[in-house]
């Protein structure tokens, strides 16, 4: 095995680029992704050549090389990261001022922004659920151009002031930063985003002209998912009505996040801007489960952004005792009590406890940390328990550290087995030891190791579930955010999947986390029922603020790309052309050619046709079409078993709910297609898509001569059925 390396220079002490020549295939994956131009191709050997004096040690080349032909030895060349210290209140009681601070000066911000490598294929963008163009807004900071920075952020986010404060950047953009994947401290993306928002107020929606089609959209809920949807819709001139059951808009951002994490003024800003832009915000208006049809009579489309609002409750003896609360009850009352005009003693009187009382918080996730830290600010002692091992804790590690610094006791590997009371009020909790060896496995509860804890108040803060009654009306909800199968090549070649985040980012598996979030984005674009979209926690169960916002925007874009129609009494609005998406998996080109022929013949029916390979189909393609046609070649042997092509199987496996769109399937085969069409049809019907036609095309033998005639016959019958089915549904 031949090793090519360049002698070390004084400019790169101890850093050497090594290339194994007989492994290097000359694919140039590393060359095009090197952020500093340290790699090039040797014209004589067509292998990679490195320049040590240019290399900074980001190891991006190692992560993207498909043959492990390149390695970097030596230290990273990057300035230290600067983080303002966490603010620890001297007098904790009643102090809800922010604990995590931003940059105060341009000098601080520019020094941090200068650490960015501006990677050609930035993994940080894939790590961000909203896919913010991070290198570009960081470059704008370096140039002191706040207007451009805001314009860049506005393409993908409407709440940068919120997300920069509440995002777990270590599991998202910062964890996916090249410096983090190389084992070091990432660029402080969150603080730079916050600096942009703090220095210049986030612009509100740019109000467009009212649409001539008078498109009307109703949104249920007012959390971050609703914010994202409402921004894009009102900017497009859509009439937007938002129905919120609480007296204040914002959902979890308002009642579930303490001011020391997200100040009220920041949380209120998005709805102030949306109302000013013309959004019809209807507060204290609950939408009952049986009112969905009424909303559909009122609006052309409805977006369900009602969140996951059902608290998870433990089923142990004693939960009915007085003094056992949900996290929602505790957070709402504590927040009101700690407002400037509030009375911190009021909730203590209501709960029947005195200052110094012990609160047992069930759970050790982010909600539990908020409960415990607010309890400390009310003058209470707080203990959190969680049956997980601390290595697999759900809370952000930095937030867990802050809670402990504020006097919160956190006990992992403990679970509640029962509560005891006196006079009908809780006074004691029984806690059992648990053991867990791997992430994702259910902890084992000990039947012998049990201790007790004297308590005055118990708060159930294990998280939330999607409302079961509403879910029953929305097929395919909640969607499981779990990517299966082989990821797309653009993800594999980016390098984000090759390495976990650094220790500074708590070793999060940022690549797999990012891929899982994409499942939710795809699902958000497709209606669950005709004219009904579901987004945010209501779609996928509890998630992050930025995920919800991105899903809301994705649903809005799907509505704008193909506006739904409804009867307004006097007449049906003019329907747009019926859109048919033809998707194919092809090996030698035959199936692709047939897909193109089917599409051309369908156009003769006045249909709008898009022909795509399985690798190039986006969620918006699926969301904006009225019908889907899938074509595949048949792989395998008749004796051993035949099946759809692997690419088509993976496409079908990852496909989300199709919301009643009709579909058709065809395949090309050499010998015998067996159950290929049936397998595809069953999967489509599982996803709510009625299959209206199937056809298998032989590509060998005598039938090859009549192929064009059979394709034309298939397309002709299919075009007639699609036109009838789609217009009948409208």
pLDDT in tens, 426-464: 999 999 999 999 887 899 998 888 899 999 999 999 988
Q: Is the pTM of this model over 0.75?
A: yes
Question: Which pLDDT band, with edges at 50, 70 and 90, does 12 fall under?
Answer: very low
| Residue 717, domain extent | 579-729
Domain check: are 486 and 400 in the same one?
no
- Rounded to whole angstroms, the Cα distance separating 679 from 682 reads 5
Q: Which residue has the higher pLDDT, 480 or 415?
A: 415
Helix axes 106-113, 134-142, angle to 10 degrees: 130
Domain check: are 449 and 585 in the same one?
no
Domain check: are 511 and 546 in the same one?
no
Domain check: are 322 and 425 in the same one?
yes
Pairing mode of beta strands 16-20, 70-73: antiparallel
Domain check: are 412 and 454 in the same one?
yes
Domain check: are 243 and 362 in the same one?
no
Domain check: are 639 and 705 in the same one?
yes
Q: Which residue has the higher pLDDT, 124 or 723?
A: 124
Task: Calculate mean pLDDT across residues 398-407.
Answer: 93
In a domain, 162, yes or no: yes
**Does position 102 have pLDDT exceeding 90, yes or no?**
yes
**Does position 424 have pLDDT exceeding 90, yes or no?**
yes
Domain check: are 124 and 163 in the same one?
yes
Domain check: are 274 and 398 in the same one?
no
Question: Which pLDDT band, with edges at 50, 70 and 90, does 311 fall under?
Answer: confident
Q: Of 43, 73, 103, which one is at a domain's C-terminal end?
A: 73
Half-sphere exposure of 679 (CA within 13 A, CB side): 20
In a domain, 209, yes or no: no
In this predicted structure, what is the pLDDT of residue 568? Answer: 54
In a domain, 394, yes or no: yes
Q: Which residue has the higher pLDDT, 208 or 564?
A: 564
In a domain, 295, yes or no: yes
What's the CATH code of the domain at 399?
3.50.50.60
DSSP state of 637: E
- pLDDT, one tens digit per residue, over 150-182 is 999 999 999 999 999 999 999 999 999 999 999
In a domain, 698, yes or no: yes
DSSP state of 567: B
What's the CATH code of the domain at 185?
1.10.1060.10
Question: Which pLDDT band, with edges at 50, 70 and 90, does 621 fall under?
Answer: confident
- Rounded to whole angstroms, the Cα distance separating 614 from 649 reads 10
List all residues 6 or more positions away from 414 whose beta carbon is below 8 Å from its beta carbon.
385, 386, 387, 431, 432, 433, 434
In this predicted structure, what is the pLDDT of residue 13? Answer: 56
In this predicted structure, what is the pLDDT of residue 638? Answer: 63
Domain check: are 92 and 35 in the same one?
no
Total tally of structural domains belonging to the chain: 5
- Rounded to whole angstroms, the Cα distance separating 255 from 368 reads 14
In this predicted structure, what is the pLDDT of residue 312? Answer: 86
In this predicted structure, what is the pLDDT of residue 156? Answer: 97
List all residues 6 or more positions away from 495 whose beta carbon is below 8 Å from its beta carbon.
33, 60, 63, 64, 121, 123, 181
Domain check: are 187 and 135 in the same one?
yes
Domain check: are 643 and 669 in the same one?
yes
In a domain, 496, yes or no: yes
**Helix, strand, coil percent content, the chain, rounded in steps of 5:** 35, 20, 45
């Amino acid at each position: 095995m031949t090793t090519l390396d360049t002698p070390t220079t004084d400019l790169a002490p101890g850093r050497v680029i090594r290339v194994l020549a007989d492994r290097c295939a000359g694919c140039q994956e590393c060359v095009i992704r090197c952020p500093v131009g340290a790699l090039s191709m040797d014209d004589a050997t067509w292998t990679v050549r490195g320049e040590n004096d240019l290399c900074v040690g980001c190891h991006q080349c190692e992560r993207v090389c498909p043959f492990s032909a390149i390695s970097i030895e030596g230290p990273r060349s990057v300035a230290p990261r600067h983080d303002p210290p966490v603010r620890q209140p001297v007098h904790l009681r009643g102090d809800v001022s922010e604990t995590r601070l931003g940059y105060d000066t341009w000098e601080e911000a520019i020094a941090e922004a200068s650490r960015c490598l501006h990677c050609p294929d930035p993994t940080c963008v894939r790590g961000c659920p909203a896919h913010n163009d991070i290198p570009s807004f960081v470059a704008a900071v370096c140039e002191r151009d706040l207007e451009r920075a805001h314009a860049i952020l506005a393409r993908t986010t409407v709440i940068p002031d919120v997300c920069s404060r509440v995002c777990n950047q270590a599991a998202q953009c910062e964890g996916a930063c090249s410096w983090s994947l190389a084992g070091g401290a990432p660029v402080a993306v969150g603080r730079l985003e916050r600096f942009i928002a703090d220095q210049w107020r986030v612009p509100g929606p740019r109000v467009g002209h009212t649409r001539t089609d008078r498109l009307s959209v109703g949104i249920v809920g007012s959390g971050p998912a609703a914010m994202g949807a409402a921004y894009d819709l009102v900017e497009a001139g859509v009439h937007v009505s938002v129905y919120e059951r609480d007296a204040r808009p914002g959902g979890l951002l308002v009642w579930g996040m303490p001011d020391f994490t997200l100040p009220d003024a920041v949380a209120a800003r998005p709805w102030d801007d949306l109302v000013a832009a013309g959004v019809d915000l209807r507060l204290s208006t609950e939408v009952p489960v049986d009112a969905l049809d009424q909303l559909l009579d009122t609006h052309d489309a409805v977006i369900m952004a009602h969140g996951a609002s059902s608290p998870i409750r433990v089923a142990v003896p004693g939960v009915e005792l007085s003094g056992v609360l949900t996290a929602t009850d505790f957070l709402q009352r504590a927040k009101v009590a700690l407002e400037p005009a509030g009375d911190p003693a009021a909730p203590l009187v209501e709960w029947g406890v005195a200052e110094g009382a012990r609160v047992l918080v069930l759970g050790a996730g982010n909600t539990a940390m908020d409960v415990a830290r607010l309890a400390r600010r009310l003058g209470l002692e707080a203990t959190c328990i969680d049956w997980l091992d601390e290595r697999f804790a759900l809370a952000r590690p930095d937030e867990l550290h802050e809670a402990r610094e504020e006097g919160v006791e956190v006990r992992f590997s403990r679970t509640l087995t029962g509560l005891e009371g006196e006079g009908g009020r809780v006074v004691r909790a029984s806690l059992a030891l648990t053991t867990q060896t791997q992430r994702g496995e259910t902890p084992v509860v000990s039947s012998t190791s049990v201790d007790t804890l004297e308590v005055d108040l118990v708060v159930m803060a294990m998280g939330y579930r999607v409302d079961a009654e509403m879910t029953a009306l929305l097929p395919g909800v909640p969607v499981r955010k779990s990517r299966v199968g082989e990821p797309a090549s653009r993800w594999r070649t980016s390098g984000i999947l090759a390495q976990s985040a650094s220790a500074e980012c708590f070793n999060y598996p940022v690549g797999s986390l990012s891929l899982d979030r994409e499942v939710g984005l795809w699902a958000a674009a497709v209606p669950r029922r005709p004219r009904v979209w579901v987004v945010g926690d209501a779609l996928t169960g509890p998630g992050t603020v930025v995920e919800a916002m991105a899903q809301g925007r994705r649903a809005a874009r799907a509505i704008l790309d193909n506006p739904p129609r409804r009867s307004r009494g006097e007449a049906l609005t003019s329907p747009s052309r019926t859109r048919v998406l033809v998707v194919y998996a092809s090996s030698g080109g035959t199936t692709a050619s047939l897909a193109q022929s089917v599409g051309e013949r369908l156009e003769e029916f006045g249909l709008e046709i898009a022909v795509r390979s399985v690798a190039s189909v986006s969620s918006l393609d699926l969301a904006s079409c009225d019908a889907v046609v899938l074509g595949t070649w048949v792989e395998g042997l008749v004796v051993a078993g035949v099946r759809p092509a692997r690419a088509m199987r993976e496409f079908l496996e990852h496909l989300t709910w199709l919301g009643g769109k009709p579909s058709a399937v065809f395949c090309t085969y050499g010998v015998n297609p067996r159950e290929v069409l049936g397998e595809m049809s069953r999967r489509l019907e599982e996803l709510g898509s009625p299959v209206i036609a199937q056809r298998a095309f032989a590509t060998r033998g005598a039938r090859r001569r009549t192929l064009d005639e059979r394709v034309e016959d298939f397309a002709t019958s299919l075009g007639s059925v699609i036109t009838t089915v789609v217009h009948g549904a409208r």
